C-alpha cells in the first residue's frame, strides 16, 4: 500500500469514527465527546491537505493525472463527511435545542458509543481483545483505541490493550457498567 492509499484509508477510518462519536455526543448531549470530534476533524483536514499535495505532485502524465484527480475527489468527499460530523458535534457544543422529532428518534436508539480510559492495574492491561473476549463478556465492540496521539481503528482480537489507552466502543445502552467494571483497576 503506497502513502496516498494509507492517508486515504486513515481519512476514511477517522471520518467513520467522527460520525459515530458525533451521533453519540448528540444523543447524550456529551460535550467531551463532541470536542473529540473537533480534534479528529482537524486531523482529517491535515490528512486531506497531505493527500492533495501528494496527488498534485504525482501528476506526470495523463494516467497519473487521472489517478490524482480521483484521489482528490475521494479525499474531498471524505473531508465533507468529516465536516458534517463536525456540524453535528457543534449542535451539542452550542446547546442548540433539537427538533422534537429528532430528539424522539435519538432517544429510541438502544446503541451507544462509550469512551473509557484503561486504568493502570486493569485486568485488560497487556492483554489482547481476543484474550479478554470483551465483546462476548460485556456486549460492546471496541471500534477504536486512542493511544496518546495515535489511533487504532477497527482493532481486532490480536490488538493489545495498554494502561492509558482510551477505548471507544459501541454496544447496547445497558452495557456501560459492565465495560467500566472490566476497565477499572482490580
Q: How confident is the model at residue 98 (pLDDT cuts 50, 70, 90)?
A: confident
Name the pTM for this structure.
0.76
Domain end (from 48, 68, 102): 102
Residue 81 vs residues 13, 16, 17, 73, 123: alpha-carbon distances, Å: 11, 8, 11, 13, 37
pLDDT of the residue at 106: 67
pLDDT of 154 over the 90 cut: no
> Mean pLDDT over residues 121-142, rounded?
85
Q: Which residue has the higher pLDDT, 95 or 107?
A: 95
Task: Answer for the pair 146, 165: CB distance below 8 angstroms, yes or no.
Answer: yes
pLDDT tens digit sequence for 73-88: 999 999 999 999 999 9
Q: Give the CATH number of the domain where residue 169 resides.
A: 3.30.70.1450
pLDDT of 48 over the 80 cut: yes
Domain end (from 75, 102, 129): 102
CA quadruple 94, 145, 80, 56: dihedral sign: positive
How many domains, in total, are found in the chain? Answer: 2
Q: Are 94 and 134 within one domain?
A: no
Tell me which residue range forms the domain holding 30: 3-102
Q: Are 83 and 147 within one domain?
A: no
pLDDT tens digit sequence for 111-131: 777 888 888 888 888 999 988
Q: What is the mean pLDDT of the chain?
A: 86
Q: Are 7 and 93 within one domain?
A: yes
Residue 178 vs residues 121, 143, 183: alpha-carbon distances, Å: 17, 17, 9
Q: Give the CATH number of the domain where residue 45 resides.
A: 1.20.58.220
pLDDT tens digit sequence for 2-47: 888 999 999 999 999 999 899 888 877 889 889 999 999 999 999 9
Q: How confident is the model at residue 173 (pLDDT cuts 50, 70, 90)?
A: confident
> Mean pLDDT over residues 120-144, rounded?
85
Amino acid at each position: 500500500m503506497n502513502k496516498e492509499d494509507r492517508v486515504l484509508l486513515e481519512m476514511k477510518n477517522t471520518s467513520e469514527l467522527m460520525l459515530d462519536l458525533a451521533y453519540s455526543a448528540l444523543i447524550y448531549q456529551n460535550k467531551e465527546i463532541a470536542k473529540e470530534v473537533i480534534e479528529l476533524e482537524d486531523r482529517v483536514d491535515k490528512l486531506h491537505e497531505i493527500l492533495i499535495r501528494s496527488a498534485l505532485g504525482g501528476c506526470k502524465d495523463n494516467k497519473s493525472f487521472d489517478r490524482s484527480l480521483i484521489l482528490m475527489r475521494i479525499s474531498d468527499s471524505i473531508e465533507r463527511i468529516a465536516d458534517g460530523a463536525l456540524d453535528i458535534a457543534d449542535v451539542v457544543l452550542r446547546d442548540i435545542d433539537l427538533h422534537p422529532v429528532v430528539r424522539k428518534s435519538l432517544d429510541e436508539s438502544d446503541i451507544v458509543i462509550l469512551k473509557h480510559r484503561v486504568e493502570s492495574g486493569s485486568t485488560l492491561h497487556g492483554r489482547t481483545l481476543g484474550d479478554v473476549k470483551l465483546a462476548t463478556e460485556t456486549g460492546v465492540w471496541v471500534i477504536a483505541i486512542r493511544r496518546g496521539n495515535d489511533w487504532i481503528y477497527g482493532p481486532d482480537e490480536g490488538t493489545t490493550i495498554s494502561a492509558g489507552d482510551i477505548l471507544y466502543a459501541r454496544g447496547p445502552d445497558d452495557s456501560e457498567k459492565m465495560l467500566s467494571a472490566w476497565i477499572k483497576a482490580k
